[in-house]
Amino acid sequence: MLDEVAKGQVGGQEPPRRFVFVLVDNFTLLSFASAVECLRIANRMAERKLYTWIVAGDSDDTVACSAGARFQVDINLDELLRDDTVIVCGGADIQQATSKRLLNWLRREARRGLKIGGLCTASYVLAKAGLLDGKRATIHWENHDSFAEEFEEVDLTKSVFTVDGNRMTTAGGTSSIDLMLKLIADEHGEKLASAVADQLIYSSIRTDQDTQRLSVPTRIGVRHPKLSQVIQMMEANIEEPISPSILAREAGMSTRQLERLFRRYLSRSPKRYYMELRLQKARNLLMQTDMTVINVALACGFSSPSHFSKCYRAHYDTTPYRERGAHASRLSV
């Protein structure tokens, strides 16, 4: 164990900090479990109780995670202690899982000054409650586009996690570990946080300066600097697409060279690849927001709904309207 930590180099003998994990229906088990494990291991390594935790929910019984396992709720949405830290755990279909009761409860606890965080898609819950207005935040990359469209007042980043005042957000998955290690380090020192990471066999602790997605070369399986540069420009300009000639010029090559580059490494033209990026964003917006099909089309660089529908159908073998209807029916089952 950590002898020095056990002897009191963890910040004295102040009472343990209590975390209240609020489980939302279909929450992501990995994000929740990662956070709790960090607290448990911190207690073990310090050989005293630095942290305690309880599970809360908008239910008197149990809450199911997205993997199907159910968890017993310790308390309902009751008034908390002033020193509590609230961590909302989100997951799949977060819009449907967010109740008015939960939003009102969060607003009330925020007015009382509690520190509140959101794991994975729970950033949506905090933003919907108005708790992230004017603050830096992050959310899982798959929900990034829809979040940015709905919450323009939030300074949305692509970081693994963010801490802005008394608000915390993570991108999901193992990013819970990075956030909790930062909190442990801030309260009880880097040595304890490193010891917790070692126990987790977590060899690379990320900061809020690290981005959540893999680099372009890693994602596409190709390490070519000019190809990566062009793809990054495409991803940054979905609403107002850039012509192949401008993309080529910015990358320092001819349009013909750009065409050959894409066909060699990605087996498709630059135009086709760009279209697939735009359609992927459109599908996310259709399934995660209430934006009209016309607004989705405009947000993804299509000049008309008819052109958007034609391209969407050619790629996904269904229309944008049917896609949205099918998604709504699945949620209602």
CB atoms within 10 A of CB 104: 12
pLDDT range class, residue 9, cuts 50, 70, 90? very low
Convert the pLDDT of each residue in 120-129 to its tens digit: 999 999 999 9
pLDDT range class, residue 215, cuts 50, 70, 90? low
pLDDT at 59: 77
Convert the pLDDT of each residue in 289-321 to its tens digit: 888 999 999 999 998 999 999 999 999 999 998
Question: Do 252 and 295 contact (CB within 8 A), yes or no?
Answer: no
Q: Which residues pair with 153 in a beta bridge?
A: none
Please name the residues in contact with 292: beta carbons below 8 A apart, sequence gap of 6 or more. none
Convert the pLDDT of each residue in 43-92 to its tens digit: 999 999 999 999 999 877 899 999 999 999 999 998 899 999 999 999 99
pLDDT at 258: 94
| Cα–Cα nearest to 11, from 185, 181, 184, 187 | 187
The 3 state secondary structure assigned to 102-165 is: HHHHHHHHHHCCCEEEEECCHHHHHHHCCCCCCCEECCCHHHHHHHHHHCCCCEECCECEEEEC
| Cα–Cα nearest to 249, from 267, 265, 269, 233 | 233
pLDDT at 112: 95
Side-chain-side CA neighbours of residue 43 (13 Å): 13
The 3 state secondary structure assigned to 2-67 is: CHHHHCCCCCCCCCCEEEEEEECCCECHHHHHHHHHHHHHHHHHHCCCCEEEEEEECCCCEEEECC
Q: How far apart are CA 29 and CA 67, in angstroms?
A: 7
Q: How far apart are CA 248 and CA 274, in angstroms?
A: 13
| Cα–Cα nearest to 133, from 161, 167, 162, 103 | 167
pLDDT at 209: 76
Q: How far apart are CA 144 and CA 300, in angstroms?
A: 14
Q: How far apart are CA 243 and CA 234, in angstroms?
A: 10
pLDDT at 205: 83
Convert the pLDDT of each residue in 222-244 to its tens digit: 778 899 899 999 999 999 999 99
Question: Do 122 and 90 contact (CB within 8 A), yes or no?
Answer: yes
DSSP 331: H
Placement of tokens 């735009």 in the chain: 278
Q: How far apart are CA 87 and CA 328, in angstroms?
A: 28
Q: How far apart are CA 51 and CA 283, in angstroms?
A: 42
Q: How far apart are CA 30 and CA 269, in angstroms?
A: 38
pLDDT range class, residue 333, cuts 50, 70, 90? very low
Convert the pLDDT of each residue in 190-201 to its tens digit: 999 999 999 999
